[in-house]
Amino acid sequence: MELFVRWLNKAIVVIEILVTVALTALAAGALLSLGVEMWDIATNGAILTRSEFNLIISGVLEVFILVELFRIAIAYMRHQNVIPTVLEAALVAVARKFVVFEGGQDYLLTALGMSALLLAVATAWWLLNRTGACSLNE
């Protein structure tokens, strides 16, 4: 049984490393894609349309989300508190949706839902920080 548990621990470490490598590759790919988009816009003209601007900002924020997920994986592998990093990633993800918000048919309902989500994440962060479960600068 002890041999089986050791084997499982090694398997978990391998999975953690694979996830971290995959996140790194995704971040590099997103950054490369963002660079290609920027180059295309720079060579085709300096004036951005609204959709091009939203596409670039969305790409930048996606890279930040991937970086936060990478930080979560590293903190998890080091057996550190991942709560602050998870909440940072959640805030960046919700902020990304606000920045590139396209209303659609249910504009008000969607905006209220996103506002409630942002308020919930921010409140959770604030409450956990007050109780000492996480630190904002960890």
Task: Give pLDDT tens digits for 81-101.
Answer: 888 778 878 887 887 777 777
Q: Is residue 98 part of a domain?
A: yes
Q: Is residue 136 part of a domain?
A: no
Q: Is residue 138 part of a domain?
A: no
Domain that holds residue 125: 2-131
Q: Is residue 51 part of a domain?
A: yes
Q: Which candidate, 48, 28, 27, 50, places its Cα nearest to that of 38?
A: 48
**CA 76 to chain CA mean position, Å:** 15
Overall pTM surpassing 0.75 (yes/no)? no
User: How many domains is the chain built from?
Assistant: 1
Averaged pLDDT for residues 124-132: 83
